[in-house]
Amino acid sequence: MCLKVMKKDIEIPVVKDVYLVVVPEYNDVFKTDDWNVYIVNNKEVDLEMLLINSKGFDGDKETAKMKHKIDLLPAKSGVKFELMVDEVLVLNNEFKVTFFENNKLYYKVFLLKKGSIKKSALRLVKALGKRGHIIK
């Protein structure tokens, strides 16, 4: 017996309380000021099997695609997953995130628009204990 599933029949739940944060941090090894991207789980439950695909783009310019995997992101926590160099910050940056919460698949695209990061506008992110630019 063949089960026919239509695209309209697939439920994609809305992602809430998960966001990205771009944080300025000093790199002690290379003695540089870096921008790092964190994913934050502000939920009361753990997230599993996070997959993140990222790329920068602007018109005909496009960076290489980066892929990241995080097996477990505990509740009320965050983890650094990508370094952003200055040359990438002048582009739009897209992050496609998928994860499982309570055995249900979630998906969201986060967009960091070019030129949107300003050190004067950074906000405290409690889950990280750091100041950063939040992408929701």
Which amino acid would we find at residue 31?
K
Q: Model-level pTM?
A: 0.90
pLDDT of residue 10: 72
The three-point CA angle 76-111-31 to 5° equals 70
- Please state the domain extents for the chain: 17-135
pLDDT tens digits for range 81-115: 999 988 999 999 999 999 999 999 999 999 999 99
Residue 3 confidence class, pLDDT cut points 50, 70, 90: low
pLDDT of residue 5: 66
Residue 8 confidence class, pLDDT cut points 50, 70, 90: confident
CB-based burial, 44-61: b 16+ in 10 Å, e otherwise = eebbeebebebbbeeeee
For 17-135, CATH number out of 2.30.300.10, 2.60.40.1600, 1.10.287.3510, 3.30.70.20 equals 2.60.40.1600
pLDDT tens digits for range 29-87: 999 999 999 999 999 999 999 999 999 999 999 999 999 999 999 999 999 999 998 89
